[in-house]
Amino acid sequence: MTSTLAQRTIHRTVLNNGIVVLVVENPSADIIAARVFVRAGSRWEAAQQSGLSHLVASVITKGSQQFSSLEIAEQVETIGASLNTDSTSDYFLLSLKTVSSDFAAMLTLAGELLRSPTFPLEEVELERRLTLQAIRSQQEQPFTIAMDQLRQAMYGQHPYARSGLGTEETVAKLTQQDLQHYHQTYFRPDNLVISIAGRVVPESAIALVESVLGDWQAPSVPLPTLNLPPIVSAPTQVITPQETQQSIVMLGYLAPAVSLDATIASDYAALKVLNTYLGNGLSSRLFVELREKRGLAYEVSAFYPTRLDTSQFVVYMGTAPENTAIAQAGLQTEVDRLRTTTLTEEELQSAKNKMLGQYTLGKQTNSQLAQIFGWYETLGLGIEFDTRFQEEVAAVTPKAAQLAADRCFLEPYLSLLGPAAVNPAE
């Protein structure tokens, strides 16, 4: 199947073993980038194994049936290529980039790592120690602490409540066998999306993937069914006194997951525009009103991540401790204003222009192209979502934005951290 999106032709093929292959030919530079998505990640972890997918990502490149950790590193570095792994809430990712002439060798190496990692015990222990250090370091970062307590309040028992790094307790208990079982469960051809962009003929790229991974057969057992706890709205306040140089104030609202459902997609697009309006850049509403005009904020912004399950719309501020109460009130006022006041056509169009411009700029490099189309495919949206999303953003009206705000921005969750923190409402 081929789709032409914004003058780019995207070829989509499903191999006999279930691997989905996407190819975008972009001959402007002699570079090929690939993203291998596995439908795994921290969303698929049990609470007592929190941090497992992160540890898998850290160790999977440290040894295979054919190569040692040093041999793998040498293969990549001697040709100036890059090969990295990562784990997020909603997917596991292997990324590679190289000049065109070395792409076959790098994809072959990636295939070896995907299919037969050995997770050497000494590498597991080393990466465990590094992860524990990272967890302890984050426990000293006020923003991270505030974000963790907000996430836990909003998501309860759902995996989104947990840090991708895990906790000291869970990471300390993870074993080599846990990593091997996770790999055996989720790393299978019918659970993979391979997205390729660069100076490559699509038919040649598909044939190469077939030659490297075509004989990898999916196991007869089906993928495990996830039975995730529901995400229920129950706004609470989590307030942590801590001696810091500034107070961190966060307001969080449960917000729609990305979806192909027309009603949900409409709110999703509208909230993406409102996120840009509120917190994207030096011209954003929060920055201008709360930092430039009132001098309340060291830092102020908003974010609304794309998620498979219910997402979160968060506004936050770092402020002087003595300004904590007025900062919270200021954030709340700016969010509530979106429910009661219809943005002008000019305000809305400015936000849409900014958002769509940044979206387009985010699809310039081969790595960006491979990432975005592979990501949409992995999330079950399809490659056509690229065009559909931009059309939905362009179609957002002031009234639609206000209605989306009215549905989403009800009572917020509050996360507050700072010196002698108290409930500002008291």
End-to-end CA distance of the chain: 60
**CA atoms of 95 and 233, how far apart (whole Å):** 36
Residue 8 phi/psi, 5-degree rounding, is -115, 130
pLDDT at 264: 86
Strands 192-198 vs 20-25: parallel, antiparallel or unpaired: parallel
- HSE at residue 413, side-chain half, CA atoms within 13 A, is 24
> Can you tell me the distance from the alpha carbon of 44 to that of 52, in angstroms, rounded to the nearest whole number?
10
Which stretches within 362-397 are classed as H helix? 366-378, 385-395
Give the Cα separation of 41 and 90 in Å (integer). 5
Provide the H-helix boundaries in 90-227: 103-115, 121-138, 142-155, 168-173, 176-186, 202-213
Residues in the chain: 426
Q: What is the dihedral of CA 35, 38, 41, 43, to 10 degrees?
A: 130
169: amino acid identity, one letter? E
Q: Sketch out the chain's domains with CATH numbers.
A: 2-213 (3.30.830.10), 237-418 (3.30.830.10)
User: pLDDT digit of tens for each residue in the chain (426 aa)?
Assistant: 666 555 578 999 999 999 999 999 998 889 999 999 999 999 999 999 999 999 999 999 999 999 999 999 999 999 999 999 999 999 999 999 999 999 999 999 999 999 999 999 999 999 999 999 999 999 999 999 999 999 999 999 999 999 999 999 999 999 999 999 999 999 999 999 999 999 999 999 999 999 999 999 999 999 999 999 999 999 999 999 988 889 999 999 999 999 988 888 899 999 999 999 999 988 899 998 888 888 888 899 999 999 999 999 999 999 999 999 999 999 999 999 999 999 999 999 999 999 999 999 999 999 999 999 999 999 999 999 999 999 999 999 999 999 999 999 999 999 999 986 555 544
Instruction: Give the Cα separation of 105 and 200 in Å (integer).
Output: 14
The SS3 call for residue 247 is strand
Is residue 392 within 8 Å of residue 269, measured between CB atoms? yes
Strand partners, 9: 4
Q: Which residues pair with 408 in a beta bridge?
A: none
pTM over 0.85, yes/no: yes
Burial (CB < 10 A; 0-12, 13-18, 19+), residue 249, is buried
